[in-house]
Amino acid sequence: MTERKLSAEDVRRLYDQHGPALVAYACSFVTDAAAAEDVVHQVFLRLLSAEIAIPDVPVAYVYRAVRNAALNAQRSGLRAVEVDPQSSVFQHRCGNQESALALEKALAELPEEQREVVVMRVWSGMTLEEVAAAAGAPLNTIASRYRYALEKLREKLRPYERNENGTMEDGK
Amino acid sequence: MEQWKMENNDRKFEEYLGEFRPRKPRALPELIVHRQVWPRRLAAAAAIAISLGASLWFVRRKNELNNGEVVAKDSTSMLEAKSPASPLALLPLTQVALQDPKQLDAQLTAASLRVLPDFRGSTSTLRVLAKE
């Protein structure tokens, strides 16, 4: 597998495209959104320093790097900032903060490999083939993980899904 | 059929999940810094290159001037050696002897007046010794 160093422009593009999803991903390892953002920043700042040669699929590397950095941050537990229990890393388009918090909680409760697939697929906009390549797992395995993850999330978000769909239909 | 139904449900739920957007993180500060640092580094590199080039040019120029002075000094000393007023020097005298033996005699005579002790004047060495 070939490796290369990303230009600052490449890093910026990667950050714009996957930054929000990566923060959501990191959020399930650390205590709050601000800590997750710090973790993602840390990874991208290292990429900007151009000291690291990364594989041909940068997204896969970035997800691994964010995971490791988040786990390190979790272990060190250095963050002393007061966590706001009402702030979520997600925002629903109807502005329902409750469902956003429920989603964040439900994601955090998923097994790591399932959570990773959901975040990559839904918020990084990757196809399951791309997720399989990034995760280094067979496509069937990734598809199964995704389906299990969706089932669990649906179960936990069902009340909010109904309400929000109802609200949106009422709004029409 | 069951599988299709399942996939359809999944797609709908996937769309619902897509209604949630992860909060956009703050901009990377280092990106801005990079843009500012890059021209500075370039300017610094250019300044160093220019100063280095100028130094080298001055050094070369100085060396050339010094070489010119040495050559000029050499030729001047040769001329001085050839003139009667200069002290004795073997090389110019040899050259003169080869080219014009009469001129050599004249130069040796002139030089002897300056180099050898004077014994013709009233205070000459020989006269002083003779009195004693």
Same structural domain, A63 and A115: no
Q: Are A124 and A59 in contact, with CB atoms under 8 Å apart?
A: yes
Q: Give the pLDDT confidence score for residue A110 in this predicted structure.
A: 93
Span A85-101, pLDDT tens digits: 556 788 888 888 888 88
Is A84 within a domain? no
Same structural domain, A108 and A161: yes
Span A49-80, pLDDT tens digits: 766 777 777 888 899 899 899 888 888 765 54
User: A91 forms bridges with which residues in the sheet?
Assistant: B21
Output the six-digit token pair for A103.
Answer: 């989603």
Nearest CA in chain A to B16: A161
Q: Is A70 within 8 Å of chain B by CB?
A: no
Looking at the complex, report in whole angstroms how far the Cα of residue A127 sits from the nearest Cα belonging to chain B.
13
Q: Give the pLDDT confidence score for residue A80 in this predicted structure.
A: 47
Same structural domain, A39 and A112: no
Mean pLDDT of A105-133: 91
| Structural domain count of chain A | 2
Q: What is the DSSP letter of B115?
A: H
Query: Does the predicted TM-score (pTM) go above 0.95?
Result: no
With CB atoms and an 8 Å threshold, state whether A12 touches B28: yes
> A100: which chain B residues are within 8 Å (Cβ-Cβ)?
20
Expressed as residue numbers, the domain containing A29 is 1-79
Q: Which of these three, A29, A45, A79, is where a domain ends?
A: A79
Span A126-153, pLDDT tens digits: 999 989 988 889 999 999 999 999 999 9
Which run of H or E residues covers position B85? Answer: none
Looking at the complex, report in whole angstroms how far the Cα of residue A150 sits from the nearest Cα belonging to chain B.
7
